[in-house]
Structure 1
Amino acid sequence: MTQSAYDIAILGAGPVGHVLALLLARQTAQPERIVLLAGSPPATPALLASSPAADPRVLAMNHGSRVLLESLQAWSGRAADIRHVHVSQRGRLGSTIIHSDDFQVPRLGSVVSYAELHATLQACVAASGVTILYGPPAQAQDQDSLGIRVRQGDTELRCGIAVLSDGSGGADIRREYDQHAIVTSAVATLPRAAWAWERFTREGPLALLPHPLDARAYSVVWCSAPGRAAQLAQMENGAFSAALSEAFGTRLGRLSSQAPRHVFPLALSARRTLVQGRLVAIGNAAQTLHPVAGQGLNLGLRDAARLAHTLTEWLSCPADNPGARLAEFVSARRADRWITAGLTDLMPRAFATRLAPLEHACGAGLLALDLAAPLRAPLARHLLQGFRA
């Protein structure tokens, strides 16, 4: 049994865990006392996806997340800008368009390849001085007034604080949406640069995001009833492309998909509190959201940024009890978490009720947003950067 001691252990090496490690490394004179507990060693650059069909996974990063990553010099080289977002409802009147010019920002957000961003973050953390330990999934064990014990395989660590950054959002709050998401990519005959699309159907939202690896391609997230999703996933490419084009409409011409399709069940899961003693949850470990509007990762990055900021003073004297600092973190994150979770919970359910009066009301709401900039601005600003106290 190998034993060692650290100030902070980060359990999970996804984007949120890596960003937290980089932020903490900037706050301390001893970055080696921050440990990132990862899984497999990083892939070589040759293994990274080079086309949408090879790996359709992309990440929609809002303006605030891109600014954060750029400040850490961790922004991926290739990205597709989003300067316009078109929101509509299939079969009903009402739509709205959000433009970056309305908010004096160069872009509303960006789409990056998951593989490329993850590789960039891995390289940045490797150069930061943070300790990285590879092995099986780590687990937090018991804690006392002096610290918390974490185990990764045969390695046991004693830490001042342990941070869960990956996994499920917990079972305190749970909602099943009776929707599965199909994730794939498609090529359009009439692509429109820097446009993203969110189209609400009666079975769930359909999102098309510009793909960073091909100017003609779009990342597709199609939410529908589980049975329908299974049917779509098994279609041959031509039939699936026709169904996708019919559901989305003609704004991008014909859509053709030759990429693999991945199906995921959708649910909201969230912890009521982010802290239990010296154990902290952020990112997907704190809340797992419906993918509508692409808010999950952006919310997790805001968790990481606030936690790092709150722990700045504690890191200068990690022998102190962090309880007051962690309570401050919980308070600071409360409004943003619940507003974002509430929005992403309401939208896919309200537009998929199959009740004509409510569907018409949703369409009227979209029309009101389109006609009145003061109504549109609060929603757009939240999607841009989250709630700021």
Structure 2
Amino acid sequence: MPIMEEFDFDIAILGAGPAGCALACTLASVSQGALRIALFQGINKRHDPTQDTRVLALNYGSRVFLEKHRLWPDHSAIIETVHVSQKNRLGRTLISSKDFDVPMLGSVVAYAELYRKLQERLQELPVTVLSGELASAAQENSNAPVMVTQGEKTWRTRIAVQCDGIKPKDIHREYNQHALITAARAQFPKPGWAWERFTQEGPLAVLPHPIFKNAQSIVWCTSPERAQALTRLDDAEFSRTLTQHFGERLGELTVLEKRTVFPLHLSATKNTVNGHIATLGNAAQTLHPVAGQGLNLGLRDVATLVHCLKPWMLNTSQSAAPFLNNFANSRKFDRRLTCELTDFLPRVFTTGNPLIEHGCGLGLLGMDLLKPLRQPLALHLLQGFRN
């Protein structure tokens, strides 16, 4: 008689950030508890997710997905209109939820609140959470079980999914930009509006804040030297500098919290499946924050993987390889399109070439005047490419 392989888990998820937690919750919900799921949570003493002050811009498609699986946080700020412009150049375009007959283009949520909601949902579902050192996965060959190691312990699993904890290495670009993140109260708030303002320093995103009343979340992309100089300004001087840089659309902007700075780069992997190991979320691609596509792309990875694995869930003893390969093929176009879009935009507007800048301005003007020109970009911002 053939020897039956013994597995500790059906699916092991490495990384308990938003994408990893969302995947664990969704798989447990869709399989109705039939899958043995492990979520490996690497402990980072330098980062407490419950104290993370960042906010996340989630498009309408991501909100629908998270609400469906009871993962939406209690507080959010909706985005109904996105204003895209270029500093010191003519041309701008407005993208409105009315163009698509949807209640909103997206929402802004606090990272800490989303994380807490995901943790609450995990407690309600049959998911084994294993906290400790960063876990790693390896498979000797396509017929062997996947071995997941955390510290001195090792588990056998049918499928492993790497969600964070490693950096993708196939494609890499340094932007020589840092993102300064903070929040500011607006003198003349405009609820439901978000701004993406391109400057020669880098893009400046001004979003409605999900927690502070009449306030905006600020993502200011600039050179590393300028970002550090901005952190050294006192609050009053920083507020004046921010208002001058953004313009007068919201009146005076008054900073509300500390400023944090993150280096920006593009990193992506070409192959998201190797044997019975899949890669998604930040482990598959780390993007420039322009247009806020990072987690939205990761959640589309999650939704597609769950969809592709549904037939496999009916009989987990069958090989998962065809279903994982279907996932990888299904995600190629969306990943490539989103990576190229978020790579192109922050570079083309910072060339310093007047001809290119004027061309970009004409492009924004053309999109504003002709709906068919802005429709593809707007649709991608709304929900991304979905099979």
TM-score, normalised via structure 1 length: 0.94
Match of 1:189 in 2: 187
Alignment of 1:168-317 (within 5 A): 168-317=166-315
Distance (Å, rounded) in 1 between the aligned partners of 2:284 and 2:270: 9
Indicate the SS of the match to 1:143: coil
Contact 2:163–2:281, Cα closer than 8 Å, also in 1: yes
Match of 1:26 in 2: 29
| Residue from 119, 125, 130 that aligns with 2:127 | 130
> What residue identity is the alignment partner of 2:173?
R
Q: Deviations over 1:254-307 (max 9, x none)?
A: 011141111111100000110111111100100000000000000000001100
Distance (Å, rounded) in 2 between the aligned partners of 1:284 and 1:76: 21
Distance (Å, rounded) in 1 between the aligned partners of 2:35 and 2:99: 44
TM superposition shift of 1:39: 3.5
Distance (Å, rounded) in 2 between the aligned partners of 1:171 and 1:262: 26
Distance (Å, rounded) in 1 between the aligned partners of 2:228 and 2:294: 24
Distance (Å, rounded) in 2 between the aligned partners of 1:171 and 1:135: 25
Alignment of 1:1-389 (within 5 A): 5-31=8-34, 33-40=36-43, 56-144=53-141, 145-389=143-387
Distance (Å, rounded) in 2 between the aligned partners of 1:16 and 1:139: 17
> What residue identity is the alignment partner of 2:144?
L
Structure 1 unpaired stretches of 5+? 42-46, 50-54
> What residue identity is the alignment partner of 1:109?
G
Distance (Å, rounded) in 2 between the aligned partners of 1:100 and 1:137: 41
Distance (Å, rounded) in 2 between the aligned partners of 1:77 and 1:258: 22
Q: Deviations over 1:208-258 (max 9, x none)?
A: 110111221111100001111111111111111111111100000001114
Q: Deviations over 1:30-54 (max 9, x none)?
A: 456111111459xxxxx956xxxxx
Aligned-residue CA RMSD in angstroms? 1.6
Distance (Å, rounded) in 1 between the aligned partners of 2:268 and 2:166: 8
Distance (Å, rounded) in 2 between the aligned partners of 1:99 and 1:368: 16
Kindly tell me: are residues 377 and 172 of structure 1, through their superposed partners in 2, closer, same or farther at Cα, counting changes over 3 Å?
A: same
Contact 2:38–2:127, Cα closer than 8 Å, also in 1: yes
Distance (Å, rounded) in 2 between the aligned partners of 1:157 and 1:29: 23
TM superposition shift of 1:18: 1.1
> What residue identity is the alignment partner of 1:87?
V
Q: Deviations over 1:307-366 (max 9, x none)?
A: 011111112222222111111111100010011111101000010100000000000000
Distance (Å, rounded) in 1 between the aligned partners of 2:33 and 2:107: 33
Kindly tell me: are residues 137 and 95 of structure 1, through their superposed partners in 2, closer, same or farther at Cα, counting changes over 3 Å?
A: same
TM superposition shift of 1:29: 4.7
Distance (Å, rounded) in 2 between the aligned partners of 1:215 and 1:194: 12
Distance (Å, rounded) in 2 between the aligned partners of 1:4 and 1:173: 34
TM-score, normalised via structure 2 length: 0.94
Contact 2:53–2:112, Cα closer than 8 Å, also in 1: no
Contact 2:184–2:216, Cα closer than 8 Å, also in 1: yes
Distance (Å, rounded) in 2 between the aligned partners of 1:30 and 1:239: 55
Structure 2 unpaired stretches of 5+? 1-5
Indicate the SS of the match to 2:11: strand
> What residue identity is the alignment partner of 2:117?
T
- How many residue pairs match? The answer is 377
Kindly tell me: are residues 168 and 248 of structure 1, through their superposed partners in 2, closer, same or farther at Cα, counting changes over 3 Å?
A: farther
Distance (Å, rounded) in 2 between the aligned partners of 1:215 and 1:383: 25
Q: Deviations over 1:131-162 (max 9, x none)?
A: 11121211113433131000112321100111
> What residue identity is the alignment partner of 2:28?
A
Identity %: 51
Deviates more, 1:315-324 or 1:191-200: 315-324
Deviates more, 1:138-147 or 1:331-340: 138-147
Deviates more, 1:164-173 or 1:120-129: 164-173
Distance (Å, rounded) in 2 between the aligned partners of 1:260 and 1:106: 33
Match of 2:3 in 1: none
TM superposition shift of 1:174: 0.5
